[in-house]
Each structure stands twice: as C-alpha cells, then as structure tokens.
C-alpha cells in the first residue's frame, strides 16, 4: 500500500504519518523533514532550501521533484511509502504521475486531512513555542496558509479528477483522527 497524506500546514500530517507508517510498515517520506535535516547539516540542498523554508515559501519544483525521485526509487523496495508534504503544486503532482508510471507504483490511496484555519494557526503557534520551528511564527504561518491556498489547494482538484481523494476530519484527538484514517484504508 502507498499513501499520499495531503492537507494544509498544521493539520497534523506529520503526527498521523508517524502512526500510519508504524501501523502499516511504510516508509515515511516527509519533504519538510528532509529539508530541515539538510538545512541543519548545511548540505548543498540545505543551502538552497534554507531561505524558502524559513520564510514559508516553497522550494522550487525542480529541486523538490529531483529529491523525491531519488527517495522514491529506494522506497519502492520497501513495503510501501507514505508521502507527507509532497506534492504541493500541480507541477509536482504531474511529475509524481510520471515517477509512479516509471516505478510501477500502484495501490495508491490519497487521504486529505482538513481543519478550520483558526485551528491550524493555533496548532502551529503552539508547535513553534514547543519546537522552535522557525516557520511557526504567526506572520510566517499566515504566509504558509496563503501559499497553501494558492499553490497546493489546486492539487486536490487534480487528484479529484484523476484518482479520487478521501477527505478526513482533522479535528479531535490524535487517536480519533488515526482511527478515522485507518477506517478509510480498511
Ligand atoms: P512541512 O514540514 O511539510 O510543513 O514543510 C516545511 C517547509 O518545507 C515548507 O513550508 C516549504 O518551504 C518546504 N517544503 C516541504 N515540502 C515541499 C514541497 N513539496 N515543495 C516545496 N517546498 C516544500
């Protein structure tokens, strides 16, 4: 089984991804985590990504598509994968279709978590205080939400037409939300 976990920033993709990958033995591919690790390590990818990530903008499509291509090739040897934070643009979604065809990826489910904007802001502000994530400050959060609406929301329509998307309520306790996601995969 392969999953794409989709949804706005702060909706809990990372938390739910950790539960789902543990439950199903999937490889967790979080582009945000990969970029943050690259920034911390000061690698060439990190240097390229730093300003985009810290300001809440998107890393250029060609960079992120190349990165995901590399990681997915390894992940297909695994039981399956969960993509968290990718694709974030229609361009990325199209490139992913090409990669899936090349790698023979099937059994794909697309799950979307949603929650009201005020709840997303509240969660991200809290995460920023707890984790020190540089992009979890109120101003950058608002920018990321705008980027989501403008560039990432259209990915939902792309998949609605092409593959179908299961929308899941992202409000509730972590356990409740995991149970809802698992129900959809049963
Ligand atoms: P996340 O941890 O998924 O919220 O991602 C944090 C930041 O990493 C985003 O705000 C972007 O700057 C960058 N990023 C993560 N995934 C992508 C992607 N698929 N395309 C472009 N930028 C990305």
Residue whose pair of structure tokens reads 């945000």 in the numeric block: 32
Alpha carbon 55 to its chain centroid, in Å, reads 18
Q: Would the CB of 53 count as within 6 Å of ligand 1?
A: yes
Tell me which of 10, 28, 59 to substitute to probe ligand 1's pocket, judged by most ligand atoms within 8 Å of the beta carbon.
59
- Atom 6 of ligand 1, nearest CA residue: 32
C-alpha torsion sign, points 127, 130, 134, 140: positive
Encoded tokens for 166? 């299961």
H or E element: which one contains 41?
Answer: helix 31-41
What pLDDT band is residue 16 in, cutting at 50, 70 and 90?
A: very high
Residue whose pair of structure tokens reads 């939400």 in the numeric block: 145
Q: Tell me the percentage of the chain whose pLDDT exceeds 90.
A: 93
Q: What is the pLDDT of residues 61-109, one digit of tens each?
A: 999 999 999 999 888 777 899 999 999 999 999 999 999 999 999 999 9
Q: What is the mean pLDDT of residues 98-124?
A: 95
The CA distance from 60 to 68, in Å, is: 13
Q: What is the pLDDT of residues 165-180, one digit of tens each?
A: 999 999 999 999 999 9
Q: How far is CA 90 from CA 99, 154, 162, in A?
A: 14, 7, 12
Maximum pairwise Cα distance, the chain: 42
Residue 123 has pLDDT above 90, yes or no: yes
**DSSP code at position 92:** H
Q: Taking the model in full, what pTM does it have?
A: 0.95
133: left (phi over 0), alpha (psi -120 to 50) or beta: beta
Tell me which of 32, 40, 55, 99 to substitute to probe ligand 1's pocket, judged by most ligand atoms within 8 Å of the beta carbon.
32
What pLDDT, on a 0 to 100 scale, did the predictor assign at position 133?
87
Q: Would the CB of 141 count as within 6 Å of ligand 1?
A: no
> Which among 92, 94, 67, 82 has a CA at the least distance from the CA of 162?
94
107 exposed, middle or buried (CB, 10 Å; 0-12, 13-18, 19+)? exposed
């Amino acid at each position: 089984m392969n999953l794409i976990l989709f949804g706005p920033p702060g909706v809990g993709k990372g938390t739910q991804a950790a539960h789902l990958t543990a439950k199903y033995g999937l490889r967790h591919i979080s582009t945000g985590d990969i970029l943050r690790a690259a920034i911390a390590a000061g690698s060439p990818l990190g240097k390229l990504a730093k300003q985009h990530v810290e300001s809440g903008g998107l890393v250029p499509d060609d960079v992120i598509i190349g990165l995901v291509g590399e990681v997915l090739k390894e992940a297909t040897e695994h039981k399956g994968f969960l993509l968290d934070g990718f694709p974030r643009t229609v361009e990325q979604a199209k490139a992913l279709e090409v990669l899936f065809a090349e790698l023979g990826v099937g059994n794909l489910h697309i799950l979307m978590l949603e929650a009201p904007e005020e709840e997303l802001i509240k969660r991200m502000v809290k995460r920023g205080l707890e984790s020190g994530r540089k992009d979890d400050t109120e101003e950058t959060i608002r920018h990321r939400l705008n980027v989501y609406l403008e560039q990432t929301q259209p990915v939902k329509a792309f998949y609605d037409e092409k593959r179908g998307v299961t929308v899941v309520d992202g409000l509730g306790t972590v356990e409740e939300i995991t149970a809802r996601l698992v129900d959809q995969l049963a």
